[in-house]
Structure 1
Amino acid sequence: MACSVPAIGGTRAALAQNWPSQPIRLVVPFAPGGTTDLVARLVAAGLQERLGVSVVVENRAGAGATVGSEMVARAAPDGTTLVMSNIASHGISPSVYRGRIRYDAVTDFTHIALVITNPTVWVANRNSGIRTLADAVARARSASGLDVATSGAGSSNHLMVVRMGQLVGKELNHIPFRGAGPAMQAVIAGQVAMMSDSLPSASSHIRQGSVVPVAMASAERHPSFPDVPTFREQGFDLASDSWFGLSGPAGMPAPIVERLHRETMAFVSAPDIRARFAELGGTPGAMTPAAYTEFIRSEVAQWAPLVQASGATAD
């Protein structure tokens, strides 16, 4: 008698029905201490409470956030391995690392939810003598030049450094780190004069006075930091928002995606989380999985010509 073989669809349906039945791994493609890591830990705590299983954050930094992202792209699409997709890993690095990246930012992932957006802020070491962009420009045009740290090559903060150098007419010295945390510590210690960072990871250091906020890359002054002038106020037409979301490997069962999206949206809509995001300088996201997928597709298309025009590379 021939043995019956379960249909693939039936297996996927059973998988979705029993999910979640084991711990979930949430990969952060940056080192601890940056915005991606900070947001991921908030999301992990919220999902753990709502799903009733452990959600463990795992930092896998490297190559403009592509190392951790590739690992997730190659994982089983069973809902146990997720990634904090972001503007670097899924928007800019596909162009910066063209020919070297081994995943498609759109088709190799199941995009679940946009979690938060926020502007870029430039901060300086307290003893650097830099208080304004005019001070930074003067340093850039000096014999020593201006060193600016970022969380790594391929980030929007990296391209801000490139673009600022173009506007100044003098290339700035980009100093990439393996995450915003190590970069910020280097600025605080005086090893690097300035940093181009996402506001949530810089916000606590600004409030504590451990760094000097120099300029906000937002259209208007940020309501949580009204004393920080914008780039435009200081004569430079620069504005940049970063974004962070939740994604998994391509091919995840629709019921799991729908559940993850529903629980994530419920989490980011909670009054205490909205207040926490506002304190950090971020705005909660609100997109369906389909909308988030199309958003990432548009980001890849938008950044590609800008990366090419800037000459930014992973080297």
Structure 2
Amino acid sequence: MVPFAPGGTTDLVARLVAAGLQERLGVTVVADNRPGAGATLGSEQVARSAPDGYTLVMSNIASHAIGPTLYGNRVRYDPVKDFAHAALVVTNPSVWVASPSSGIRTLADAAARARSPAGLDVATSGAGSSNHMMVVRMSQLVGKEMNHIPFRGAGPAMQAVIAGQVPMMSDSLPSAASHIRQGSVVAVGMASAARHPAFPDVPTFREQGFDLASDSWFGLSFPAGTPAGIVERLNRETRAFLANPDIRGRFAELGGTPGDLTAEGYTEFVQREVAVWAPLVQASGATAD
């Protein structure tokens, strides 16, 4: 289950992994897109599925660390207790890109536009995504609320930016990488601790005077109660797939870092992310409306 629309990082990662697991396991692996409510709709469907090893979700920072707090009682699953977390697949930074026609080339340009009477519209893959939180946090630093424009996935949001319908987008690097290289959008700032090796010419937020850094993450999770043997088998096969030099090169090209955690390690990782993001979301005052 891919809880975002086609064309974004979650979808891209899910399809790469599905193809690799299909080859390694010798069974058909289907990537099924079920977007909505910040990736919580598809995730809830998996949480309520039979724990037989045939259904899993591309769990991510939106569905498991941010959404449960942002959407409150509308999320009917516990991000830790209702899943058997199997494997961390990839982590990657966020990047802000602008339409070439917008005239925005730096974060200072974006801040100035945000402070203007017209304000600044910033697209994301949806409410509850880490990139939504980037818009909230950047607004706090700029001192003026930016207009968050949520889409049902990174693919539709990126197309709106390329067409000049929205001037900017906060996106995960893998789904933006090819568009940056093609020149269909302008990379304005990378939300990484240091310049990213795949895009050394793109300055970080901190280099431009904005103290922000944010990584997205994506993994594989079954419904709670899935037999431990199945969870461990998927962990082994996923880590073996991610260790392949060609796959590591593909992820590096996209700006992602492959994961290498045990199932227990990934569960602990999700627990830490929930503990970090829940208070940040609450303190931000952000809502899903």
> Normalization by structure 2: what TM-score?
0.99
Give the C-alpha shift of residue 294 in structure 1. Answer: 1.2
Give the C-alpha shift of residue 298 in structure 1. Answer: 1.2
**Which among 92, 100, 118 is matched to residue 66 of structure 2?**
92
**Which among 255, 267, 278 is matched to residue 281 of structure 1?**
255
**Which among 140, 165, 179 is matched to residue 114 of structure 2?**
140
**Which among 200, 203, 213 is matched to residue 177 of structure 2?**
203
Matching residue of 2:38 = 64
Secondary structure (helix, strand or coil) at the match of 1:62 reads coil
**In structure 2, C-alpha distance between the alignment counterparts of 1:248 and 1:188, rounded to whole Å:** 36
Give the C-alpha shift of residue 46 in structure 1. Answer: 0.3
Residue 101 (structure 2) pairs with residue 127 (structure 1): yes
Give the C-alpha shift of residue 254 in structure 1. Answer: 1.2
Give the C-alpha shift of residue 232 in structure 1. Answer: 0.4
Residue 82 (structure 2) pairs with residue 112 (structure 1): no
**In structure 2, C-alpha distance between the alignment counterparts of 1:94 and 1:292, rounded to whole Å:** 18
Matching residue of 1:4 = none
1:179-218 matches, cutoff 5 A: 179-218=153-192
Residue 4 (structure 2) pairs with residue 33 (structure 1): no
Matching residue of 1:53 = 27
Give the C-alpha shift of residue 258 in structure 1. Answer: 1.1
**In structure 1, C-alpha distance between the alignment counterparts of 2:134 and 2:228, rounded to whole Å:** 37
Give the C-alpha shift of residue 98 in structure 1. Answer: 1.1
Give the C-alpha shift of residue 301 in structure 1. Answer: 1.2
**In structure 2, C-alpha distance between the alignment counterparts of 1:312 and 1:276, rounded to whole Å:** 35
**In structure 2, C-alpha distance between the alignment counterparts of 1:190 and 1:157, rounded to whole Å:** 19
Matching residue of 1:156 = 130
Give the C-alpha shift of residue 47 in structure 1. Answer: 0.4
The AA in structure 2 aligned to 1:96 is L
**In structure 2, C-alpha distance between the alignment counterparts of 1:138 and 1:291, rounded to whole Å:** 43
The AA in structure 2 aligned to 1:129 is G
> Superposition RMSD on alpha carbons, in Å?
0.5
**Which among 270, 275, 286 is matched to residue 301 of structure 1?**
275
**Which among 50, 57, 79 is matched to residue 76 of structure 1?**
50
Residue 286 (structure 2) pairs with residue 312 (structure 1): yes
Unaligned runs of 5+ in 1: 1-26
The higher radius of gyration belongs to 1
Q: Which whole-Å deviations, capped at 9, do the CAs of 1:217-271 have from their partners, x for residues lacking one? A: 0011000000000000000000000000000100011111111110000001100
- My pick for the range that moved more, 295-304 or 270-279, is 295-304
**In structure 2, C-alpha distance between the alignment counterparts of 1:51 and 1:304, rounded to whole Å:** 36
Secondary structure (helix, strand or coil) at the match of 1:99 reads helix
Matching residue of 1:272 = 246
The AA in structure 1 aligned to 2:5 is A
Secondary structure (helix, strand or coil) at the match of 1:81 reads coil
Give the C-alpha shift of residue 143 in structure 1. Answer: 1.1
Q: Which whole-Å deviations, capped at 9, do the CAs of 1:156-202 have from their partners, x for residues lacking one? A: 10011001000000000000000000000010011100000000000
- My pick for the range that moved more, 289-298 or 53-62, is 289-298
Unaligned runs of 5+ in 2: none
**Structure 1 stretches of 4+ moved >2 Å:** none
Matching residue of 2:234 = 260
> Normalization by structure 1: what TM-score?
0.91
**In structure 2, C-alpha distance between the alignment counterparts of 1:282 and 1:125, rounded to whole Å:** 23
Give the C-alpha shift of residue 297 in structure 1. Answer: 1.0
Secondary structure (helix, strand or coil) at the match of 1:117 reads strand
The AA in structure 2 aligned to 1:28 is V
**In structure 2, C-alpha distance between the alignment counterparts of 1:254 and 1:244, rounded to whole Å:** 21
Matching residue of 2:198 = 224
**In structure 1, C-alpha distance between the alignment counterparts of 2:87 and 2:232, rounded to whole Å:** 10
Q: Which whole-Å deviations, capped at 9, do the CAs of 1:110-146 have from their partners, x for residues lacking one? A: 1000000000000000110000011101110111100
